[in-house]
Amino acid sequence: MKVFGFKEKNCNKKIFCLLVCCCSVALAFDTKKDDRMLLIPAGVLRGIDPDFGEVCLTNSRAFLMDKTVVTEAFFAEVYDRLDARTGDYIHFRQGEGLTPLHVFETRDHPVSGVSFRNAVLWCNARSKLEGLTLCYLNAKKEEYRGGHGETIWCDFSATGYRLPTSSEWEYAARAGECTRFPWGDTICFTNANYTGGKANYDLSGGGLHPVYSKGVNVEFFEQAISPVMSFPPNRFGLYDMIGNVAEWCWPDNKTEVEFKRYSRFILRGGSWRSWTQSLRAGTEDEVYEEDCMIGRRFYWELLASGFRCVRKAPVE
């Protein structure tokens, strides 16, 4: 069984079942309080994925998740409001992965080119703005502020915002489905923004998305990102879990992440420039963020990276 980080290959081979056990949480949560987030119910998902075999995901506690990835407008708003209120502007870490690209240019688009560190710093900034306890701390259990080579410790009991774990992301993305993609076993350009390939389950015909690529030869900082909510949501109401920008996730089974040359970081869901293999709900792409600079192997993956936040449901 996979319980947010624990995988077992011995799940019973049964058709999927999603056991929702959080009705009281759903009733207690006032959606008017924060319409950016949706409740992801507790439950168990079992079934057979056509590529990855047995799926067994358990979400023991309901949590809240952003219904879209963080947009450029919201990304900038959090820092602007925090700076105006407290004078405590958390700056981006230059030289430690890229800073976000195109902020202020297309405000309804996902913020992109976000490093893992900068995503974590922004989560803390959002928490501080709303008076929530911080999830991300340094090795001394003090506020993480992005020091070079510093360990990040995640307090999962905190009330603030954080990145989803890889298993949380998959559970939310599948939304009760064990198919190759949240909507079924085939994909085309009406489902997501991605780069079509030759996989037999890809019905796109190949190439970049015909609407959002604008026919350009995508090079360097040119991008073919689409506005959020351009495609139908999954059954939980989450948009763009597949394609557009790949999403940073916290590694399963870890409370600490160390920044060393070969530290492993996770992107899920694929992006506008991903082949279909990376778009599958069961795919976990590994990158080494310290090497995500221009000219390095994973630079383009970082360029197409974004994130969404999760936090504890107000009532458990």
Lowest-pLDDT choice from 9-18, 93-102, 162-171, 221-230: 9-18
- Per residue in 2-38, is it b (16+ CB within 10 Å) or e — as a string? bbbeeeeeebeeeebebeeebeebeeebeeeeeeebb
Q: How far apart are CA 57 and CA 44, in angstroms?
A: 6
Q: Are 39 and 29 in contact (CB under 8 A)?
A: yes
pLDDT of 200 reads: 95
pLDDT of 264 reads: 74
CA atoms within 13 A on the CB side of 144: 34
Tens-digit pLDDT profile for residues 53-109: 999 999 999 999 999 999 989 998 888 888 777 656 555 443 333 345 444 456 788
Q: Token digits for 288? A: 């080494």
Taking residues 268-277, report their average pLDDT: 91
pTM for this predicted structure? 0.84
Domains of the chain: 67-316 (3.90.1580.10)
**Residue 258: Cβ-neighbour burial (10 angstroms; 0-12, 13-18, 19+):** exposed
245 pLDDT above the threshold of 50: yes
pLDDT-based confidence at 227, cuts 50/70/90? very high
End-to-end CA distance of the chain: 23
Number of Cβ within a 10 Å radius of residue 139: 13
Q: Which residue has the higher pLDDT, 24 or 94?
A: 94
188 pLDDT above the threshold of 90: yes
Q: Which residues are CB-contacts of 196 (< 8 A; sequence separation ≥ 6)?
A: 189, 202, 204, 205, 206, 207, 208, 276
Q: Are 193 and 226 in contact (CB under 8 A)?
A: yes
Bridge partners of residue 64, in order along the sequence: 39, 311
pLDDT of 114 reads: 82
pLDDT-based confidence at 259, cuts 50/70/90? low
Tens-digit pLDDT profile for residues 133-177: 999 999 899 999 876 667 899 999 999 999 999 999 999 999 999
Q: How far apart are CA 226 and CA 223, in angstroms?
A: 9
pLDDT of 85 reads: 72
Question: What percent of the chain clears pLDDT 70, i.e. is strictly above it?
Answer: 72
Nearest alpha-carbon partner for 286 in 258, 241, 249, 255: 249
117 pLDDT above the threshold of 50: yes
Q: Token digits for 76? A: 């900038």
DSSP 58: E
Q: How far apart are CA 47 and CA 170, in angstroms?
A: 14
